């Protein structure tokens, strides 16, 4: 799994930084990617990545401010034009359906795939056998959600060397043991699944927060995550301005990461007053509180390994 930041600027793009969007590359066996927010220009940024729009599976909108949303109609249209036929799930606050359907209707955009729009509340918004996604409201000027993506534990590896020593023939018996079923061999011996299957492989937890002031839900949602993405709209000398506009500073983001005991913090959503070369200052401020902090660099992959927090 990897994160790619397609935009890290707050409010409006500047030279060298686009407005907010984040791509999450899913595990290889899934072969898809998810998007979190879709600011104007997102599809242009995707052209500089390995992602194909036809493989976009889910799109999560944190809130309905334009710098997080205005690229959505273009993404939906281009996905159809590029031959996407698989269903696309779109999640976000109430009002998302009206925005999306109005834009598509007025522009006479016809999609060649099913679009399922889910206007969400707090709680679990998606779950299948591999992942779950939980949403929680944050503290911004309008409803703004954070998303907690949890990779569910996987079955441990088969001890094939031990199976060979026991004389278990490869094939269906291996699959039954892997699924937790005990197997009786032709000579009457019973091979127990618990003896030949390793410990479950813990999944990873990634938390992407929308715009927010410091708030209890941010800490709760991020608790124990392997990676937290948190806005840092302002340096800490502008804490009063951050509070006035419903945003957080670099230090406040680090305090949330520290309190939630996450593995890594990546800062994003930087005010347009900060040029790319200024981001080292925000990063350094945050590292004084939470060392494992990086200021996001656009179009750079951030690997999400299985860390000690998830083992």
Using one digit for the tens of pLDDT, what is the confidence trace for 76-86?
999 999 999 99
Query: Given this model, what pLDDT does residue 99 score?
Result: 98
pTM (2 decimals)?
0.89
Residue ranges and CATH numbers for the domains of the chain are 2-154+200-310 (3.60.15.10), 160-196 (no CATH)
243 is in an annotated binding site: no
Q: Give the H/E segment covering residue 18.
A: none
243 is catalytic: no
Q: How far apart are CA 185 and CA 34, in angstroms?
A: 44
* More confident of the two residues 267 and 187: 267
| 67, 128, 243, 259: the active-site residue | 67
Query: Given this model, what pLDDT does residue 169 score?
Result: 86
182 is in an annotated binding site: no
pLDDT averaged over the chain?
Answer: 94
Q: How far apart are CA 254 and CA 230, in angstroms?
A: 9
Using one digit for the tens of pLDDT, what is the confidence trace for 287-311?
999 999 999 999 999 999 875 433 3
In terms of phi and psi (left: phi > 0; alpha: psi -120 to 50; beta: otherwise), the region of 257 is alpha
140 is in an annotated binding site: yes
Using one digit for the tens of pLDDT, what is the confidence trace for 195-254?
888 887 789 999 999 999 999 999 999 999 999 999 999 999 999 999 999 999 999 999
DSSP-assigned letter for residue 108? T
Taking CA atoms, 44 is separated from 20, 71, 78, 99, 185, in Å, by 13, 10, 11, 21, 58
63 is in an annotated binding site: yes
Q: Would you say 53 and 28 are in contact if contact means Cβ atoms under 8 Å apart? A: no
Using one digit for the tens of pLDDT, what is the confidence trace for 36-76?
999 999 999 999 999 999 999 999 999 999 999 999 999 99
247 is in an annotated binding site: no
269 is in an annotated binding site: yes
Q: How far apart are CA 311 and CA 303, in angstroms?
A: 17
68 is in an annotated binding site: yes
């Amino acid at each position: 799994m990897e994160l790619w930041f397609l935009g890290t600027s707050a409010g409006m793009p500047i030279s060298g930084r686009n407005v907010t969007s984040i791509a999450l590359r899913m595990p290889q066996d899934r072969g898809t990617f998810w998007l979190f927010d879709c600011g104007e220009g997102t599809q242009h940024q995707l052209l500089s990545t390995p992602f194909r729009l036809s493989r976009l599976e889910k799109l999560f909108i944190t809130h309905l401010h334009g710098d997080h949303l205005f690229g959505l109609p273009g993404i939906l249209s281009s996905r159809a034009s590029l031959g996407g036929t698989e269903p696309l799930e779109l999640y976000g606050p109430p009002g998302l359906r009206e925005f999306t359907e109005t834009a598509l209707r007025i522009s006479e955009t016809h999609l060649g795939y099913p679009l399922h729009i889910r206007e969400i509340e707090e709680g679990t918004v998606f779950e299948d056998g591999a992942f779950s996604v939980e949403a929680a409201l944050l503290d911004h000027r309008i409803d703004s959600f954070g998303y907690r993506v949890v990779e569910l534990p996987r079955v441990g590896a088969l001890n094939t060397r031990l199976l060979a020593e026991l004389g278990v023939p490869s094939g269906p018996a291996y699959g039954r043991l892997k699924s937790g079923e005990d197997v009786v061999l032709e000579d009457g011996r019973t091979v127990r699944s618990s003896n030949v299957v390793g410990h479950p492989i813990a999944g990873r937890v990634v938390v992407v927060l929308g715009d927010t002031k410091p708030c209890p839900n941010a800490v709760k949602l991020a608790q124990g995550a392997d990676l937290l993405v948190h806005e840092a709209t302002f340096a800490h000398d502008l804490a009063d301005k951050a509070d006035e506009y419903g945003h957080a500073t670099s230090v406040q983001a680090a305090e949330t990461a520290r309190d939630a005991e996450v593995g890594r913090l990546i800062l994003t959503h930087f005010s347009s007053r900060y040029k790319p070369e200024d981001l080292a200052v925000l990063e350094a401020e945050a590292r004084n509180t939470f060392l494992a902090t990086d200021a996001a660099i656009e179009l750079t992959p951030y690997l999400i390994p299985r860390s000690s927090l998830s083992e």
